[in-house]
Structure 1
Amino acid sequence: MLLAIFFGWVMGLVLGLTGAGGGILAVPALVLGLGLSMTQAAPIALFAVGSAAAVGAIDGLRHGLVRYRAALLIALLGAIFSPVGIFFAHQLPEKALMMLFSLLMIMVAWRMLRRERQGEGPSDHGHANWGQKNCMLDQQTGRFSWTAKCTATLAALGAVTGVVSGLLGVGGGFLIVPAFKQLTDVQMRGIVATSLMVISLISAIGVIGAFHAGVRIEGLGVGFIIASIVGMIIGRRFCTRVPARALQVGFASLCLVIAACMLLRASV
């Protein structure tokens, strides 16, 4: 139990410091550190990540940053397609799931090591010209212009996020954040807040789906979840004191090391 609490606290601390997808660290901690299978680890990771994301989503709602209609649409499609991922998670061999997760970690690390250009200005509006993005904000109302193209784009994002969430037990923030940056003109504050709301909703749906499939969270998992929430709160308090680039490089390096360990274990 002490090991589960320690791993949960570390995962939550890193989540609070980096704002990265917690499931990326939660699943390896449960599989490599506690010896759980991928199907056992997935619902615990989703529960922990979803709880932490809910705290950030509530804060974003309080400050009016969440694009709640977009979040609800993405989460709705995620709810529909999450059982598809759960189904395949129970059909695929354990080694195949571990290899898929390792490749996912490598992709996340690569994206974080790339230097992103800083967003301009404090506004929650982006700076793209009208028509450059699939989903554009109305400059007068500050809300999305709900065209058919925009609706289809967000729905497709929700479907993909739901499948990946159910399959690998991750919240999907690593998909939602870059997709929002690429496909909308929302500034980063709004992207992160909206992503947290989607993650919390999809994670909750994924946990319910896993329970329906017969997976249960035992005492070790409960300890991990509680410790991760505590670690996340502590991490959020200290995140402004650590250089952002140092956090990105450190987290990406950690992802690469863990991915190598999981690939090694899957090949045995």
Structure 2
Amino acid sequence: MNETLVLAGVLGGAIGALLGLTGAGGGVLAIPALMLGLGLGLTEAVPVSLAAVALAATLGAVVGLRKGIVRYRAAMLMAALGMVSAPVGLWLGHEIPQTVLTVVFCLLMLYIAARMLRKRPAPAPGEACLVEERNCMLDPLTGRFKWNTRCSFTLGLIGCTAGLFTGMLGVGGGFLIVPAFRQFSDLSMQAASATSLAVIALVSASTATGSLLHGGGFDSTGLTFIVATATGLMVARAFSARIPEHWLQRGLGVVILAVAVVWLGKQFV
């Protein structure tokens, strides 16, 4: 078997597993893996990354919907606004030099990683009354968000920002959505992950379609990567509920930190 295809399968499976465990990190790692690991250029890597993340996230979102942990109204609002901002990001991605985009992206990842590593674990259910008031709070009776102007604006802003980066770098947006949910809402890590996958599936799918219409395509290496990513996610989702939330959160923070440092270093070496 071609060594490149084997490497594409291993990298795709690992990225899918991370996406399945945390609801984030798939696109953050997919672009570096495709460029640094498989030698693709940015214009070649973006459509493959988007397609891989979109397929894997769709499968993960379906699993979350069946379990009833996807906050689907929030996901639809964020995805709708993300789809509006994603074409703007796609245009900016062609106008702004690649090095500038990469550096800005890495700096943002460093900030997010630091926040996730510093953030204290969520309190136990019996300690819910001690949780600080956040922009979006769940109704303890229904388990759904208490919708108000503050919450709607917060979710809309997160969706727009995620869509912008999805268009610019094909990163899916989960690296931003999951930390934002943890910062601005009282969603559990499992619910934040599942809702993030629903947003990523919708935004990435629409952006991937736009990229393909503009001449993007997949060779055997890209297809192998896409299938392996989806497979890795489904395997990981089967085990995610057994892993403590603070492990998942800190693990994601470490991964984002490592990728940002390595990718940023590549720009100046």
TM-score, normalisation: structure 2: 0.84
**Alpha-carbon separation, structure 2, partners of 1:39 and 1:127:** 49
Match of 2:259 in 1: 258
Residues 49 and 171, structure 1, Cα contact 8 Å, conserved in 2: yes
2:250 pairs with 1:224: no
The code of the aligned residue for 1:101 comes to F
247 and 134 in structure 1: CA distance in 2 versus 1, 3 angstrom threshold: closer
Larger mean Cα displacement after TM superposition, 246-255 or 54-63: 246-255
The code of the aligned residue for 1:114 comes to R
**Alpha-carbon separation, structure 1, partners of 2:196 and 2:68:** 14
Match of 1:11 in 2: 15
1:120: how far off? Answer: 2.1
Match of 1:91 in 2: 95
Question: Which of these residues, 48, 51, 59, is aligned with residue 47 of structure 1?
Answer: 51
Match of 1:147 in 2: 148
| TM-superposition CA deviations, 1:20-67 (whole Å, max 9, x none) | 321111111001011112232122112212222222211221122211
The code of the aligned residue for 1:204 comes to A
The code of the aligned residue for 1:214 comes to G
Q: Map residues 125-164 of structure 1 onto 2, 5 A cutoff.
A: 127=129, 132-164=133-165
SS at match of 1:267: coil
SS at match of 2:61: helix
**Alpha-carbon separation, structure 2, partners of 1:148 and 1:161:** 20
2:79 pairs with 1:78: no
Aligned residues: 265
**Alpha-carbon separation, structure 2, partners of 1:246 and 1:141:** 27
**Alpha-carbon separation, structure 2, partners of 1:221 and 1:107:** 31
**Alpha-carbon separation, structure 1, partners of 2:188 and 2:244:** 20
8 and 242 in structure 1: CA distance in 2 versus 1, 3 angstrom threshold: same
The code of the aligned residue for 2:181 comes to F
Match of 1:197 in 2: 198
Match of 2:172 in 1: 171
| TM-superposition CA deviations, 1:190-247 (whole Å, max 9, x none) | 3222111111111111211222333223322111111112222333345567676666
128 and 188 in structure 1: CA distance in 2 versus 1, 3 angstrom threshold: farther
**Alpha-carbon separation, structure 2, partners of 1:257 and 1:188:** 21
**Alpha-carbon separation, structure 1, partners of 2:14 and 2:22:** 12
2:69 pairs with 1:65: yes
Q: Output the aligned Cα RMSD.
A: 2.9
199 and 3 in structure 1: CA distance in 2 versus 1, 3 angstrom threshold: same
238 and 151 in structure 1: CA distance in 2 versus 1, 3 angstrom threshold: closer
Match of 2:208 in 1: 207
19 and 198 in structure 1: CA distance in 2 versus 1, 3 angstrom threshold: closer
**Alpha-carbon separation, structure 2, partners of 1:256 and 1:140:** 37
SS at match of 2:135: coil
Q: Which runs of 5+ in 1 are unaligned?
A: none
Q: Which runs of 5+ in 2 are unaligned?
A: none
SS at match of 1:214: coil
**Alpha-carbon separation, structure 2, partners of 1:146 and 1:239:** 29
**Alpha-carbon separation, structure 2, partners of 1:190 and 1:251:** 16
Q: Map residues 235-246 of structure 1 onto 2, 5 A cutoff.
A: 235-239=236-240
**Alpha-carbon separation, structure 1, partners of 2:32 and 2:71:** 31
